[in-house]
Amino acid sequence: MAMLKQTLAITALSLRSIPERWGPSIVIVVGLAGVVAVFTALLAMAEGFQTTLQATGRTDVALVLRGGSSAELNSGLGRESATLVKQAPGVRQGDDGQPLASAEMIVVAELMRPGEATGSNIMVRGVERSAFALRPQVRIVEGRPFQPGLRELIVGRGVAQQFTGVRVNETLRMRGSDWTIVGVFESGDANESELWADVEVAQTTFNRRGFSSVRLQLADPAGLQAVKDALDADPRLNVDVEAEQEYYSGQTRDFRKSIGMLAGVVTLIMALGATFAALNTMYAAVGTRAREIATLRAIGFGGTPVVISVMIESLVLALAGGLVGALLAYLLFNNMAVSTLGANFTQVVFQFKVTPTLVQRGLAIALVIGMIGGLLPALRATRQPVTTALRAA
């Protein structure tokens, strides 16, 4: 009980004296703000990418690609195969009595970012009318849908925001053909990184007969395996079947890995530097208060309360730094839209997401550094013989 009282007394003393030596104290705060800001911002990028792709695609929609393709761009299915796939058992019937399925074709176009001379690959997706039924989250927010049979495009909001030349009424030139942008659509997921057109028109224009993929609406949400088995058993087909959501989630692995590695290396090195800075600050703090600490010891305060109070000071400063860093990352980067190359060699537009979990992890790192930064100086403070400390000052 006495120890607790002592600890509280010394801690209050040291915390209240921080403003008098704010110079060194601010080093810890800024140092850790830097570490946490960089850590949070980098992982917010990975988080945003993952959120966008995981939100894309549903578990009750099956995506069918040619066997071994792994991405829609690599895949190709002939007209006959596409028709066979659509007639698989377990596919829900639409209002017209036809299977609720969409055969789609991918081509890639190059668009420019504002102020940049090199183009970026953007996915152009030729879709059937049922594509909209399979993706109820897609809705037109500006202009109108494309008209079947015409060379018209609707553009995803992400593409519209990041790239030039795709506003409504502008004309996009692809392989010697002119396409009019007639609308902008929103979906809140990776579909927004695409341009959509009527698949029949796209096929004739680009001189392609087949499709890239077929999406099937499952009659039973758990019926994926049955559809898979049926298609695998058909000797006329060589296809891979997976849940649409799984397909998109699978694409996040490489990006997460590389960003995670970058964040890991950068945070580790920065944390090391911040630890040295924190040690420096706390040694200085203990140094300037050597006489004060010795006096306290002389009048009967124990060693442990001194150690604890130094640790608490260090932790408080570290936590303050961590919070400043997380706040900075949030203010500067949260919801910032960027894009990177996805699995189909095309751009995926996504937003930074500073999540509570990331902030927590950042603060944990700050506290660990604060703890290390406080421990050694605290031990030194108590180890020094009282008489030496009193005389030295």
Partner 1 sequence: MTRTGFVLANLMRKKTRTILTLLSVVTAFLLFGLLQAVNVMFSAGADFVGATRLVTQARVSFTTSLPMRLLPEIESIPGIKAVMWQQWFGAVWQENTQLFFFATDPARLHTVYPEYVMPDEQWKAFEQTRTGMIVGRILADKYGWRIGDKVPISSNIFPQKDGSKAWTFDLVGIYDGKDADWQRNTNLGWINYAYFDEANQFGSGMAGTFTLSLADPGQAEQIAQTIDARFENSPDETKTQTEKDFNIGFLRQIGDIGLIVRWILFAVFFTLLLVVGNTIAQSVRERIPELAILKTLGFTDRSVLGFVLAEATAICAIGGLVGLAIATLIGIKIGGSGNFPIAIDHRVWITGVISIIGLSLAVGLPPALRAGRLSIVDALAGR
Residues that bind partner 1 (CB under 8 A): 23-24, 26-27, 30-31, 33-34, 37-38, 41-42, 67-71, 73-74, 107-110, 116, 118-121, 174-176, 207, 238, 265-266, 269-270, 272-274, 276-277, 279-280, 283-284, 338-341, 345, 347
Angle between helices 290-298 and 356-383 (to 10 degrees): 70
Grouping H, G, I as helix, E, B as strand and the rest as coil, residue 3 is: helix
**Min. distance of Cβ 2 from partner 1 in angstroms?**
33
Nearer Cβ to partner 1 (22/220): 22
Pick 15 or 26: Cβ nearer partner 1: 26
Instruction: Name the residue with tokens 């609406």.
Output: 217
Is the Cβ of residue 142 or residue 246 nearer to partner 1 in the bound state? 246
DSSP 167: S
Q: How far is CA 331 from the centre of its chain?
A: 16
Query: CA angle, 114 as apex, 111 and 115 as ends, to 5°?
Result: 115
Min dist CB 167 to partner 1, Å, is 20
Distance in Å, CB of 12 to partner 1, minimum? 25
> What is the nearest approach in angstroms of partner 1 to the Cβ of residue 276?
4
Q: Please list the alpha-helical segments (H only) found in the chain.
A: 2-16, 22-55, 79-86, 130-134, 157-162, 199-206, 224-233, 244-250, 252-288, 290-298, 303-333, 356-383, 386-392
Which is closer to partner 1, CB of 265 or CB of 298? Answer: 265
CA atoms of 158 and 118, how far apart (whole Å)? 19
Cα 143 from chain centre: 30
Please tell me the distance from the alpha carbon of residue 1 to that of residue 13, in angstroms, as a whole number.
19
Shortest separation between residue 117's beta carbon and partner 1, angstroms:
8
Output 71 or 166, the one with its CB closest to partner 1. Answer: 71
Q: How far is the CB of 351 from partner 1 (least distance, A)?
A: 14
CA 292, CA 285: separation in Å to the nearest integer?
11
* 153 and 196 Cβ atoms separated by less than 8 Å: yes
Question: Which of 25, 42, 33, 27 lies closest to 322, judged by CA?
Answer: 33
Tell me the closest approach of the beta carbon of residue 300 to partner 1, in angstroms: 29
State the nearest-atom distance from the C-beta of 229 to partner 1, in Å.
Answer: 20
Residue type, 262: L
User: Minimal distance in Å, beta carbon 45 to partner 1?
Assistant: 8
Residue 107 vs 378, nearer CB to partner 1:
107
* Of the candidates 354, 240, 273, 371, the residue with the CA atom closest to the CA atom of residue 316: 371
CB 62 within 8 A of CB 242: yes
- 195 vs 218 by CB, closer to partner 1: 195
Cα atoms in the 13 Å half-sphere on the side-chain side of 109: 28
6 vs 347 by CB, closer to partner 1: 347
CB of 345 to partner 1, least distance (A): 5
Round to whole Å and give the CA distance between 352 and 49.
Answer: 8
Q: Which is nearer to partner 1, 301 or 333 (CB)?
A: 333
Closest to partner 1 by CB, 155 or 218: 155
CA 357, CA 325: separation in Å to the nearest integer?
A: 15
Whose CA is closest to 256, among 4, 52, 33, 28?
52
